[in-house]
A and B are shown apart, each in its own frame.
Chain A
Amino acid sequence: MADIFQPVAARPAPIATEGLMPWIKRNLFTSWKNSLVTLLMLGLVAYLLPGFVQWGAINAVFSAHADACQAARGIGACWGVVTEKWRLIIFGRYPFEQQWRPEIATLVMVTGLVLSCIRAFWSMWLLALWAGVLAVFFTLMGGGVFGLEPVRTDLWGGLPLTVMLATLSIFCAFPLAVLVALGRRSNLPAIRTLCIIYIELIRGVPLISVLFMASFMFPLFMPQGTSIDVLVRVLVGITLFAAAYMAEIVRGGLQAIPKGQLEAADTLGLSYWQTQRKIVLPQALAMVVPSMMNNFISIFKDTSLVTIVSLYELTGAHGLALNSDVNWRPFKIEAYIFIIAIYFVFCFAMSRYSLWVEKQVNVSKAR
């Protein structure tokens, strides 16, 4: 005889599964092997940390005294090199007495970037905002109007150059990448072939050689008397390079869209561009947020390669500041740690932001 069905009331779990102690137990001490690794790692930290604190803080020299730094060599860090050289590292060769200009220009651009990241500001006004930001940036940096002394672009350097190159090349490369990705999947053979050739050509060469071409070879093909600013050429070079890689990322997303989505759009009578804009791209781009942000971060750091065409962005300016100065050259490492910290702040912010964007675009997948 079958038992009569009895509903079972929900009851709390018998052991706590949330909170600090359960987390530690579950993640660090589940088995004796795990516990051993945890203890070994703790030991390693305990072994290394005091030495680092000694070197980095207790025995360190913070004032810009080359002699004091020399005396502390080997036992303490010389942060004095940063105190002494930070303006050169951050602003490069930009004329010293005019450095308030790149300072404001960078602040304006970073503010623009931060605002663009906030959901409440996502509207058409953002385009107007960016037109303003770029106008302010280039007016301040270049001068020549409003009584600002003109400054040639090859004197621009340091952080403003890094931020500007990364921002502009990402902004320009992204739409280009979307078009190329769509083109590579187009039914029109000419467009498809063109996109494939572009992608494969760019992917076949290192960024350095693209920059080299843009900087030194391209002018040779130009008619006599015409010249395009080296900064623009380099910007176009990075953009074309980045767009090829991004296009392949976007294509990955496009391929993951089920055929049924396109058929549904077709039967509703949506045109090709309506389908791409309303159905395909929102889903495809949402899927590739992590790898796209990966690419953005890598572009940000790749801008350091423009040093080879004599544009001294952050990394280049670091070399410029220290290589020729015998007094301070020995303390390159400390100065490197300084620019590493700057790069890290930007890249870490991008990667955290990427996680947030992922959450936003995946709202519809939550059940």
Chain B
Amino acid sequence: MSDDNIIRFDKVNKWYGNDFHVLRDIDLKVARGERIVICGPSGSGKSTLIRCINALEEYQQGQLTVDGILLADDIKAIEGVRKQVGMVFQQFNLFPHLTVLENLTLAPMWVGKLPKKEAEERAMQQLERVRIAEQAGKYPLQLSGGQQQRVAIARALCLTPKIMLFDEPTSALDPEMIKEVLDVMIELAEGGITMICVTHEMGFAKAVANRVIFMDQGQIVEQNEPHEFFNNPQSERTKDFLSKILGH
């Protein structure tokens, strides 16, 4: 059965240890090309949710299917999924001992088996896309936070993923640098890639998201298209949360 949903969570449950029930009965379908923003208080499970999608976290109950592949313990399935999914972290996680260009060519050369020259061409294209090509020869620590995060986005794009996951991509940045990263993400969204973004940048949510999801205590409390979500939240918990993050 071919499926328009590129990601499907069916009653997914996850525990840390025996007692901490971090994801509770998650049901979520993501259509191809959909752009989703997930928000919620810290500890609500939103990062854990997206980390399940590329098997950085395992779940204990239910089923998670990504691009037609059922994610279970099977190592082949995990490899298959990771080829389709790019991820950007809050702390960038660039490899500090490699230059920007080497950061980008590493996976295409070693995982994608591309020849060096081709990998470098592809890397330079992506660096131009995030407007940082002139820094290709520098080391990550020589760049500003915003520049590093843009390099991290380019690195994920070098593997031509179908899905991009963003785990609070602007939370570790100085206020002056948030916009340059968001601009790149907005451009990316316009390109039609499936995007799931954990963020509290509500301006970004309004501008690009098809759907905003609010999570609390391991559950999806409410989801809606952005206009309705912000102007007409249904649950008290969502209203309370929104009043706190939009109230100032």
Chain A: residues with CB nearer than 8 A to chain B?
258, 260-261, 263-264, 266-270, 274, 278-279, 282-283, 286, 361, 363-367
A364 near B159 with CB under 8 A, answer no
CB-CB nearest 5 A-B residue pairs: A264-B93, A268-B107, A260-B93, A364-B139, A267-B87
Beyond A269-B159, A270-B110, A364-B97, whether A260 also contacts B89 by CB under 8 A is yes
Q: List 8 A-B contacts (CB under 8 A).
A: A268-B107, A269-B107, A270-B110, A283-B95, A361-B97, A365-B139, A365-B141, A367-B141
Shortest distance from the beta carbon of B141 to any chain A beta carbon, whole Å: 6
- The distance in angstroms between the C-alpha atoms of A126 and B83, with both chains bound, is 36
Contact of A267 among B56, B91, B140 (CB under 8 A): B56
Question: Which residues of A sit under 8 angstroms from B94, Cβ to Cβ?
Answer: 264
Contact of B156 among A267, A270, A365 (CB under 8 A): A267
Does B205 sit at the interface, judged by CB under 8 A?
no
Question: Which residues of A sit under 8 angstroms from B111, Cβ to Cβ?
Answer: 268-270, 274
Contact of B56 among A258, A266, A286 (CB under 8 A): A266
- The distance in angstroms between the C-alpha atoms of A367 and B141, with both chains bound, is 6
User: Which residue among A264, A282, A286, A365 has the maximum number of chain B CB atoms within 10 Å of its CB?
Assistant: A264
Q: Which of chain B's residues 66-92 have a Cβ closer than 8 Å to chain A?
A: 79, 82-83, 85-87, 89, 91
Contact of B106 among A258, A268, A361, A365 (CB under 8 A): A268
Measured as residues with beta carbon below 8 angstroms from the partner, the interface class of chain B is 20 to 34
Beyond A260-B89, A286-B97, whether A278 also contacts B106 by CB under 8 A is yes
19 extra interchain contacts, Cβ-Cβ under 8 A, other than A267-B86, A268-B107, A283-B95?
A: A260-B89, A260-B93, A263-B56, A263-B93, A264-B87, A264-B89, A264-B93, A266-B54, A266-B56, A267-B56, A268-B159, A269-B82, A270-B110, A274-B110, A279-B95, A364-B98, A365-B96, A365-B141, A366-B142
B156 near A261 with CB under 8 A, answer no
Shortest distance from the beta carbon of A262 to any chain B beta carbon, whole Å: 9
Could you count the A-B residue pairs with CB atoms below 8 Å apart for me: how many are there?
A: 69
Shortest distance from the beta carbon of A282 to any chain B beta carbon, whole Å: 5
A266 near B82 with CB under 8 A, answer yes
Question: Which residues of B sit under 8 angstroms from A283, Cβ to Cβ?
Answer: 95-97
- The distance in angstroms between the C-alpha atoms of A363 and B142, with both chains bound, is 11
Beyond A260-B89, A274-B110, A365-B141, whether A268 also contacts B155 by CB under 8 A is yes
Question: Which residues of A sit under 8 angstroms from B55, Cβ to Cβ?
Answer: 266
User: Which residue among B55, B87, B107 has the maximum number of chain A CB atoms within 10 Å of its CB?
Assistant: B107
User: Which residue among A263, A267, A282 has the maximum number of chain B CB atoms within 10 Å of its CB?
Assistant: A267
User: Which residue among B97, B99, B141 has the maximum number of chain A CB atoms within 10 Å of its CB?
Assistant: B97
- The distance in angstroms between the C-alpha atoms of A264 and B86, with both chains bound, is 10
- The distance in angstroms between the C-alpha atoms of A279 and B56, with both chains bound, is 17
Question: Which residues of A sit under 8 angstroms from B82, Cβ to Cβ?
Answer: 266-269
Shortest distance from the beta carbon of B63 to any chain A beta carbon, whole Å: 21
Shortest distance from the beta carbon of B104 to any chain A beta carbon, whole Å: 10
Shortest distance from the beta carbon of A363 to any chain B beta carbon, whole Å: 8
Question: Which residues of B sit under 8 angstroms from A274, Cβ to Cβ?
Answer: 110-111
Question: Which residues of A sit under 8 angstroms from B93, Cβ to Cβ?
Answer: 258, 260-261, 263-264
Q: Which of chain B's residues 165-180 have a Cβ closer than 8 Å to chain A?
A: none
- The distance in angstroms between the C-alpha atoms of A364 and B101, with both chains bound, is 13
Residue of A nearest to B111 (CB): A269
- The distance in angstroms between the C-alpha atoms of A365 and B95, with both chains bound, is 11
- The distance in angstroms between the C-alpha atoms of A364 and B138, with both chains bound, is 8
Question: Which residues of A sit under 8 angstroms from B155, Cβ to Cβ?
Answer: 268
